[in-house]
Amino acid sequence: MKVLSGIQPTGRFHWGNYFGAIRQYIALQGQEQSFYFIADLHALTTVRDPAVLRQNVTDAALDLLALGLEPSKATLFRQSDVPEVTELTWLLMTITQMHLLEKCHAFKDKKAKGIAADAGLFTYPVLMAADILIYDSTTVPVGADQIQHVEVTRDLAQRFNSTYGETLHLPEAYVLDDSAKVPGTDREKMSKSYGNIIPIFDTPKKLRKTIMSIQTDSTPMESPKDPDSCAVYQLFKLFSTSDQQVALADRYRAGGMGYGEAKETLHLAAMNHFGEAFERRTRLETTPSEVEDILKQGAQRARAKAVEVLERVRSACGLSARPV
């Protein structure tokens, strides 16, 4: 299995990122090939402040390493450190039909809202396809709402192969387990775009303040409450054992417990769950050169594969070998 996944550095990672994807990325590390990149080129479609982008990339690397990504088991690198991916993007663009890109979610959504979509957003799926194809990836972990990206990649690979002969490998989508629903502080799906996130690495004080802001209903403290309709309980389930879940659910139904107490229980559970990751991140922050070395070494490994695939593609197209 050759695993490939990228994550955009558009802000600090939150509980939704972790339970929805990151923890499963980490579970997949150690395969025949496990490549994970920080998608700074993709982020340019939304992040236009260079200082912010650089800090976001650093934070993404620190967060992923702290949460359990191990350089001995997985290759972590910056997308932009492998320039071959942009050349493959152009080669794929020459066989990409406009109507295929017009159907893609990000472009359609902006167009429907009357928001101007630039060429970067319009051709975003081609760069994403290049990200996948340039490493001969076989397995691409995605959420159910991102399967289209892999389908577009397969379409482009098939079209290229039909034009130039069998050159590119067709990847398969690995649909991530999205059974762990992660509500935000407003009880909607946790998302940066909704402004309802709970960051993974906030200080304990800030984390507690955010948890205390989670919206709940107005049921009096002495009255029984429904745990299944409460975002606090739904979040607690992500951090707890089945016995712990039953115990807290019983407290809800018995009455006599306010939502403030439930939020304190959630805060403690989250601190316990991410405690070791906090410690690792604190240590990594003091050794920025170590993190940079990990990214550079990762890019070297990734480029070795990218060069191999790109030479195969260039040859198929009739281009000369790249100068050394």
Which positions are catalytic? Answer: 110, 189, 192
Residues 6+ apart with CB under 8 A from 167: 160, 161, 312, 313, 316
**Dist CA 150 CA 129 (whole Å):** 7
175-178: Cβ within 8 A, 24+ apart: 175/142, 175/143, 175/144, 175/147, 176/20, 176/21, 176/24, 176/141, 176/142, 176/143, 176/144, 177/24, 178/20, 178/143, 178/144
Residue located via tokens 């979610």? 105
Amino acid identity at 268: L
What sign has the CA pseudo-torsion 293, 298, 299, 305? positive
Amino acid identity at 161: N
Q: Strand 139-142: give its sheet, edge to edge.
A: 75-78, 33-38, 2-7, 139-142, 172-175
Residue (of 87, 10, 71, 83) closest to 36 by Cα position: 71
**Dist CA 111 CA 300 (whole Å):** 39
